[in-house]
Structure 1
Amino acid sequence: MFVYNRRKLVAVPLLRQKVALLESRAYSTYRARLEAHKRITRLNISWNTALVGLATSTTVAAVGQLVYPGMYGSGGNALMVVLAVLSLVASLVVSSMNYGARARAMEASYKRIQQISLLAERMETTIPSDQLARRFEELQREYEIAIESSENHVTADHHKAINQKSWETRNQSVLNALPYITLVVPVLLLVPFVNWFFNGI
């Protein structure tokens, strides 16, 4: 059986293979972009947490340094200036990464691709054979638009989606942990202040 597809006759079995390929490709992309959305959302939350921790501890430490100039040693004033500059630079860098907007765009992309995958999966049972070619072309275009609507996922996202361990996933894990590692700085800043505060009571 054949269906007419604008310029040529297309065999239904061949067209069904293309539909199945689109469904498989869309589902794979959906899973990878879902992982990308999770990754970017985690980075958004973790870096904002790190910035809040750094800003809060720097402010508290500065107040302590004013009240008790020897709290951070002879170079305490210089340390406060350096930390203030680092806090500003880190804030500007994180802001330029625009994690929040990127996460929202990725979420919209993976949800639309998921819909396309489901439509392709049900196409054979819901679309008449004489309309299959036209609907496939429309769905193919929608998939391409959904792909271009946000940044692409990285290799580590794809590997994580299929539970594959690789150097990419390990490197990504290190990058994901970096914001939490920087929380060591606020803790180190607060320790002298807490000691001084409670010893002075």
Structure 2
Amino acid sequence: MIVDDKRARERLTCIERRAYKTYRARESACSRLGRRARAWNWAIVALSTATTVAAVGMLTDSDMYGPNGSTLLVCVSIFALVVSLAATNMNHSGRSRDMFLNYRKIQRIAVEIEAMKSGKIVTEVMVTAISDRYQEILDESENHTPGDYLRHFSPNLPKDQPFFLGDDVSQFLRRREMLRDTTVTSLPYITLILPVALFVPLFQSLLS
């Protein structure tokens, strides 16, 4: 006769807690990668459009960008090509999709665990089987960043961390990781300064 195993239930609860945290962190990673994909796409579109329009403008005003305008335009075109190749190599869009599929599988695991806990019988065999599945799903995708985790959960502080410093340290670590992720995500938008710089002389040439 199969009986309920209390130790197996305790282990199942730990796996459920771990799966939930991983699901939320990877959900956040999916959103982060999606934002970066959109940012780099806009940067590439803006750079490509600006260099094309600037090249057309120089057909009528060769001195629009000064005596070295042709060299400048070639350098900007090379920069746009490098950005395009780098964005393709980073593959943020594909990684975001993979992360989405991964966190949905982990979410299903969490739902299955919840159903198992509501049942009358939980055995070590059942827990081991679902734990193995969880580990296999973890290996199917890249890991999330500390920032992805800290968007939803406090960091694990050292055991010797004084209690009265806990909240301050947690907030510092969270802000640091948030700032790091935000800075990297914002980098593509900084490149938009270059298209604006190309359009200003073009408009001045057209209006003169």
What TM-score does the superposition give when structure 1 sets the normalisation length? 0.89
Runs of at least 4 residues of structure 1 off by over 6 A?
Answer: none
Question: For residue 133 of structure 2, what is the aligned residue in structure 1?
Answer: 142
Give the C-alpha shift of residue 169 in structure 1.
1.6
- Helix, strand or coil at the partner of 2:151: helix
**Partners of 1:147 and 1:73 in 2: how far apart?**
55
SS in 2 for 1:70: coil
What is the aligned partner in structure 2 of residue 8 from structure 1? none
Determine the C-alpha separation between the residues in 2 that align with 1:179 and 1:161: 26
1:172-199, CA deviations, whole angstroms, 9 ceiling, x for partnerless residues?
A: 11111111111111111111112222x1
**1:108 is matched with which residue?**
101
Provide the C-alpha distance between the structure 2 equivalents of 1:171 and 1:125, rounded to a whole number of angstroms: 41
Q: Per-residue displacement from partner, 1:66-125 (whole Å, max 9, x unpaired)?
A: 210111111100101101111111111111111121111100000010111111122122
2:80 matched residue in structure 1: 87
Q: Quote the residue 1:78 is aligned against.
A: 71
Q: Which letter does structure 1 place at the counterpart of 2:88?
A: S
Matched AA of 2:177: E
* Aligned residues of 1:2 and 1:12 also touching (Cα < 8 A): no
Q: Which of 18, 23, 46 matches 2:16?
A: 23
Identity of aligned residues (%): 36
**In the alignment, what sits opposite 1:45?**
38
Kindly report the root-mean-square deviation, in angstroms, between the aligned alpha carbons of the 2 structures: 1.8
Structure-2 residue corresponding to 1:178: 187
Is there any run of 5+ residues in structure 2 with no aligned partner, and where?
155-170
Deviation per residue, 1:14-47 (Å, 9 max, x gap)? 1111010010000000010011000000010100
Q: Give the equivalent residue in structure 2 for 1:125.
A: 118
SS at match of 1:161: coil
Three-state SS of the structure 2 residue aligned to 1:166 is helix
One of 157, 170, 175 as aligned partner of 1:166: 175
Q: For structure 1, list consecutive stretches of 5 or more residues without a partner in the other structure.
A: 4-10
1: CA distance, partners of 2:126 / 2:205:
72
1:58 aligns with 2:67: no
Counterpart of 1:147, as a letter, is L
Report SS of the residue matched to 2:62.
coil
Q: In the aligned structure 1, how far is the partner of 2:55 from the partner of 2:125?
A: 67
- Deviation of residue 162 (structure 1)? 2.3
Instruction: Judge conservation of contact 1:54–1:186 (CA < 8 Å) in 2.
Output: yes
TM-score (norm 2): 0.86
Residues 1:196 and 2:196 aligned together = no
